[in-house]
């Protein structure tokens, strides 16, 4: 039997996140959903903003169905791309033209299309720990080798000495993700400037550009007025922004996002063509048409972020007061907590005794922590706090 | 500059179909849309059945938006897969279980996921000319080499002597497409039985299965009561049915389809796992959730096929009467017409003088023909007939 064994393994191995979620469902059937504190999945818990339903109803009742559900061009409907470009330019002075955008089936597709467009076999793709584990799958499928920069455990920015050592003439791209899954941390403007300076210097030295892939599903999920999420094309010409509306609009199942190729890179035309070529070769055809056509009416809207902010404040405050050491989450909907023992998986097992379901950080390339997804009801968080306190006491933290 | 040059080329080279379509838009601006007879694109012209709009409106007003737009499992929502399996079993006694189905973003995704699941570098994938040109792109992206069986120009079935010569121990899969794009021809039950017997015999001889990928976006588009489209899992265990709702429900932009893996193949578990792995590695995550959830209420419905039947009868009858030699189209919405001169591209240029836009068959691996997509308004067909008659006269056919 000689079918592709890499694909067999990718299909057989369940992620820790998914296994924890399944355990939660089983346990909920045994003791009641309200008694299980499942923090495993990064699935938005806040409904899409009302404008989404209104917009879809309007499209369905007022648009010719042949046009509404018909193929768009592979790059995306021109008016949709024009609206997105105008929105990005109004918010970030990003200098994005409609023709720089390529509509995709969400962030994962934005990344696989970009990586397949850029990479040749043997190229290296650099990620900063802790990182979303699927980056490895996507990079390796594109024929690249993943190189991991160990975490900056002080501030969850970038470990620059390690990064400087890892970058070499084979480096084709660096993936960043800010706000970050799994830490919720933001890369500061200083960190980003330093990163872009390094990439520029190395690109010049090697005579070949290193691309920056900015994975931005959480861009709109920041909770503090002072938090800044710089727009990367303004800092670095060789940037591809990989965006998704999954989290900002609570539409993760609908698969809608885009790639923005910075038009200031010298190789712009080739890179944009390669993005189109990769989308074609991977079988994407076009991004879902009705969801594309919804976007102009909902740009700038988000699901109710106040719920996530409330959850963050509750959880960060309570867990810190119980003696847990938590990374302060500026954005996304994750809290990254240091395990009181070296083995985070053992800590997760202990937490299960209190019906708390957490995800050990090992698969994120940064052992010794757990990820708490707080995209759950505020009620669940309130109900879970006594259990967290007991868990802290079990480790003598309070 | 060393980004992936294969992808650059795939993105830069426009298909003949797309170029012809763009020319049609330009010409329409010059002389009026009603005076251009554009038969280039296979884009459904008949609206989705009313049940689609009703079903979507109901989902939007009656379903919790968090569930409606949330992630489904990568394989697809369980109730959706159960409904599709029940429908297939009621219609074809297909023996499909819900867990044999993997929901996809349409036929292209069904094919790329299947090919990436099955193929190792250097494997061969066999197609039967004339064939949809993207098969080459999909197979080569999956690391395989495309082998083309020359067309059976007598009956547009399968040239078995050529197929027997092409199949060898490196053959991993054969792709069939019935009803066919670009001919509209159906593979007969006899042809399919003969094909399956050959694949069984060779699989046994080589000690390694040859998979049959049945690309079925046109399954529901057949116009004669006597036309039979056998269900392939009933004929051959190593079948993967690659289905799409794009044409049957007129939803091509929404990207919704599935892969059905025959559970009677010995390697079923590995193959299904590899399908899941390939979907993950290519970045599909899940098929669009609202479209998935629509399906149980619209299974068995189709767009109004009477329009296509009327168009077929009109066009086939008239062109035959003008002296053109046409393949009789049992299904799909394409008419395949022999070019009166050897160079089909030259014939297409001549047709342009009469404002008729056709696609030369060269890119389908079968030179000397043109494809007419009759998924247009019946009015356009009626208006175009005098032009076709003049074109025939220009070649002395009538």
- pLDDT tens digit sequence for B145-179: 999 999 999 999 999 999 999 999 999 999 999 99
A138 touches chain B (CB under 8 A): yes
From start to end of chain B, where are the E strands? 37-38, 101-104, 124-128, 145-149, 171-176, 211-216, 239-244, 257-261, 334-338, 356-357, 359-360, 369-373
What is the band of B7 on the pLDDT scale with cuts at 50, 70, 90? Answer: very high
Asked whether the predicted pLDDT for residue A17 surpasses 80, the reply is: yes
Contact state of B282 with A250 under an 8 Å Cβ cutoff = no
Q: Tell me, what's the ipTM?
A: 0.96
B367 touches chain A (CB under 8 A): no
Distance from CA of A281 to the nearest CA of B (A): 6
Cβ contacts of B254 on chain A, cutoff 8 Å: 69, 288-290
Question: Chain A residue with minimal CA distance to B109?
Answer: A283
Question: Chain B residue with minimal CA distance to A56?
Answer: B60
Contact A42, A358 (CB under 8 A): no
The C-alpha atoms of residue B187 and residue B179 are separated, in whole angstroms, by 7
Alpha helices in chain A (DSSP H): 5-12, 16-31, 50-62, 65-68, 78-92, 107-118, 134-141, 160-166, 189-206, 268-282, 289-298, 305-321, 344-353, 378-394
Distance from CA of B366 to the nearest CA of A (A): 22
- Burial (CB count within 10 angstroms: exposed 0-12, middle 13-18, buried 19+), residue A181: buried
CB pairs under 8 A between A and B: 262
What would the pLDDT profile of B73-99 be if each residue is shown by its tens digit?
999 999 999 999 999 999 999 999 999
Of chain B residues 331-360, which have a CB less than 8 A from chain A?
none
The C-alpha atoms of residue B199 and residue B181 are separated, in whole angstroms, by 23
pLDDT at B23: 92
A250 touches chain B (CB under 8 A): yes
Portion of chain A with pLDDT greater than 70, in percent: 100
Which residue out of A283, A288, A301 would a mutagenesis test of the B interface target, given it has the greatest number of B Cβ atoms within 10 Å? A283
Asked whether the predicted pLDDT for residue A196 surpasses 80, the reply is: yes
Asked whether the predicted pLDDT for residue A15 surpasses 90, the reply is: no
What would the pLDDT profile of A259-309 be if each residue is shown by its tens digit?
999 999 999 999 999 999 999 999 999 999 999 999 999 999 999 999 999
Cβ contacts of A4 on chain B, cutoff 8 Å: 116-120, 274, 277-278
Distance from CA of A105 to the nearest CA of B (A): 7
| Continuous segment of H or E residues that includes residue B274 | helix B268-282
What would the pLDDT profile of B101-120 be if each residue is shown by its tens digit?
999 999 999 999 999 999 99
Tokens of B50: 């009313």
Q: What is the DSSP letter of B72?
A: -
What is the band of A77 on the pLDDT scale with cuts at 50, 70, 90? Answer: very high
Maximum Cα–Cα distance across chain A: 65
Tell how strand A359-360 and strand B171-176 pair up.
unpaired
Of chain A residues 104-123, which have a CB less than 8 A from chain B?
105-106, 108-113, 116-120
Which of B44, B46, B277 lies at the smallest CB-CB distance from A8?
A: B277
For the segment A144-165, the average pLDDT, to the nearest whole number, is 98
SS3 of residue A331 by DSSP: strand
Residues 6+ apart with CB under 8 A from B122: B143, B144, B145, B170
Contact state of A283 with B47 under an 8 Å Cβ cutoff = no
What is the band of B1 on the pLDDT scale with cuts at 50, 70, 90? Answer: low
Q: Which of B147, B130, B194, B133 shows the shortest CA–CA distance to B336?
A: B130
B15 touches chain A (CB under 8 A): no
Cβ contacts of B125 on chain A, cutoff 8 Å: none
B50 touches chain A (CB under 8 A): no
B244 touches chain A (CB under 8 A): no
The shares of helix, strand and coil residues in chain A, as percent rounded to the nearest 5, are 45, 15, 40
What would the pLDDT profile of B183-240 be if each residue is shown by its tens digit?
999 999 999 999 999 999 999 999 999 999 999 999 999 998 888 899 999 999 999 9
Residues 6+ apart with CB under 8 A from A172: A118, A119, A120, A123, A124, A125, A144, A210, A211, B3
Of chain B residues 185-224, which have a CB less than 8 A from chain A?
208-209
The C-alpha atoms of residue B279 and residue B256 are separated, in whole angstroms, by 14
For chain B, the average pLDDT equals: 96
For the segment B293-320, the average pLDDT, to the nearest whole number, is 96
Contact state of A66 with B46 under an 8 Å Cβ cutoff = yes
A35 touches chain B (CB under 8 A): no
Which of B271, B277, B287 lies at the smallest CB-CB distance from A9?
A: B277
pTM, two decimals, is 0.97
Question: Chain A residue with minimal CA distance to B173?
Answer: A3
Question: Chain B residue with minimal CA distance to A41?
Answer: B71
Which residue out of A10, A11, A116, A261 would a mutagenesis test of the B interface target, given it has the greatest number of B Cβ atoms within 10 Å? A11
Phi/psi region, residue B196 (left: phi>0; alpha: psi -120 to 50; beta: rest), is alpha
Q: Can you list the domains of chain A with their CATH numbers?
A: 5-49+303-394 (3.90.1150.10), 69-298 (3.40.640.10)
Distance from CA of B397 to the nearest CA of A (A): 37
pLDDT at A2: 83
The C-alpha atoms of residue B196 and residue B203 are separated, in whole angstroms, by 10
Please give the C-alpha separations between residue A256 and each of A67, A245, A292, A298, in angstroms, as whole numbers. Answer: 18, 6, 7, 13
Contact state of B267 with A11 under an 8 Å Cβ cutoff = no
What is the band of A396 on the pLDDT scale with cuts at 50, 70, 90? Answer: very high
Contact state of B53 with A66 under an 8 Å Cβ cutoff = no
Tell how strand B369-373 and strand B359-360 pair up.
antiparallel
The C-alpha atoms of residue B201 and residue B199 are separated, in whole angstroms, by 5
Distance from CA of B337 to the nearest CA of A (A): 26
Contact state of A134 with B280 under an 8 Å Cβ cutoff = yes
Tokens of B195: 């094909």
N-term to C-term CA, chain A: 56
pLDDT at B14: 76
Which of B7, B284, B292 lies at the smallest CB-CB distance from A117?
A: B7
Angle between helices B106-118 and B134-141 in degrees, nearest 10 = 40
Cα B256 from chain centroid? 13
What is the band of A1 on the pLDDT scale with cuts at 50, 70, 90? Answer: low
A168-172: long-range contacts, CB 8 A cutoff, minimum separation 24: A168/A124, A169/A206, A169/A208, A170/A122, A170/A123, A170/A124, A170/A145, A171/A123, A171/A124, A171/A125, A171/A126, A171/A147, A171/A202, A171/A210, A172/A118, A172/A119, A172/A120, A172/A123, A172/A124, A172/A125, A172/A144, A172/A210, A172/A211, A172/B3
Which of B53, B66, B172 lies at the smallest CB-CB distance from A65?
A: B53
SS3 of residue B335 by DSSP: strand
Asked whether the predicted pLDDT for residue B10 surpasses 80, the reply is: yes
A281 touches chain B (CB under 8 A): yes
Which residue out of A69, A71, A113, A237 would a mutagenesis test of the B interface target, given it has the greatest number of B Cβ atoms within 10 Å? A69
The C-alpha atoms of residue A36 and residue A377 are separated, in whole angstroms, by 13
A62 touches chain B (CB under 8 A): no
pLDDT at A21: 85
pLDDT at A321: 98
Contact state of B45 with A66 under an 8 Å Cβ cutoff = yes
């Amino acid at each position: 039997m000689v079918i592709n064994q890499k694909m067999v393994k990718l299909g057989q191995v369940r992620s820790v996140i998914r296994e924890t979620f399944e355990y939660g469902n089983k346990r909920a059937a045994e003791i009641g959903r309200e008694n299980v504190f499942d923090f495993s999945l990064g699935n938005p818990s806040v409904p899409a903003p009302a404008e989404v339903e209104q917009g879809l109803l309007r499209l369905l009742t007022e648009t010719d169905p042949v046009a509404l559900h018909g193929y768009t061009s592979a790059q995306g409907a021109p008016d949709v791309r024009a609206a997105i470009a105008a929105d990005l330019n109004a918010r970030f002075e990003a200098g994005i033209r409609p023709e720089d955008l390529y509509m995709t089936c969400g962030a994962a597709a934005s990344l696989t299309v970009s990586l397949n467009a850029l990479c040749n076999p043997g190229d290296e793709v650099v990620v900063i720990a802790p990182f979303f584990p699927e980056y490895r799958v996507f990079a390796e499928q594109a024929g690249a080798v993943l190189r991991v920069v160990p975490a900056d455990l002080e501030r969850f920015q970038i470990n620059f000495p390690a990064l400087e050592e890892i970058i070499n003439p084979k480096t084709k791209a660096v993936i960043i993700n800010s706000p970050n899954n799994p830490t919720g941390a933001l890369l500061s403007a200083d960190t980003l400037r330093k990163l872009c300076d390094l990439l520029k210097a190395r690109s010049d030295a090697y005579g070949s550009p290193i691309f920056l892939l900015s994975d931005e599903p959480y861009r709109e999920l920041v909770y503090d007025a002072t938090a800044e999420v710089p727009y990367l094309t303004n800092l670095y010409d060789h940037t591809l922004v990989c965006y998704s509306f999954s989290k900002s609009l609570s539409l993760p199942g609908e698969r809608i996002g885009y790639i923005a190729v910075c038009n200031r890179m010298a190789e712009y035309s080739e890179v944009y063509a390669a993005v189109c070529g990769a989308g074609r070769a991977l079988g994407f055809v076009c991004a879902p048409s009705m969801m594309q056509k919804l976007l102009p009416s909902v740009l700038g809207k988000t699901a109710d972020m106040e719920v996530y902010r409330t959850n963050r404040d509750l959880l960060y405050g309570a867990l810190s007061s119980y003696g847990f050491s938590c990374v302060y989450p500026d954005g996304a909907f994750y809290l990254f907590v240091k395990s009181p023992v070296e083995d985070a998986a053992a800590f997760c097992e202990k937490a299960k005794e209190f019906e708390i379901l957490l995800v050990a950080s090992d698969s994120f390339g940064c052992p010794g922590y757990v990820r708490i997804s707080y995209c759950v009801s505020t009620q669940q968080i309130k109900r879970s706090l006594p259990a967290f306190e007991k868990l802290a006491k079990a480790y003598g933290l309070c």
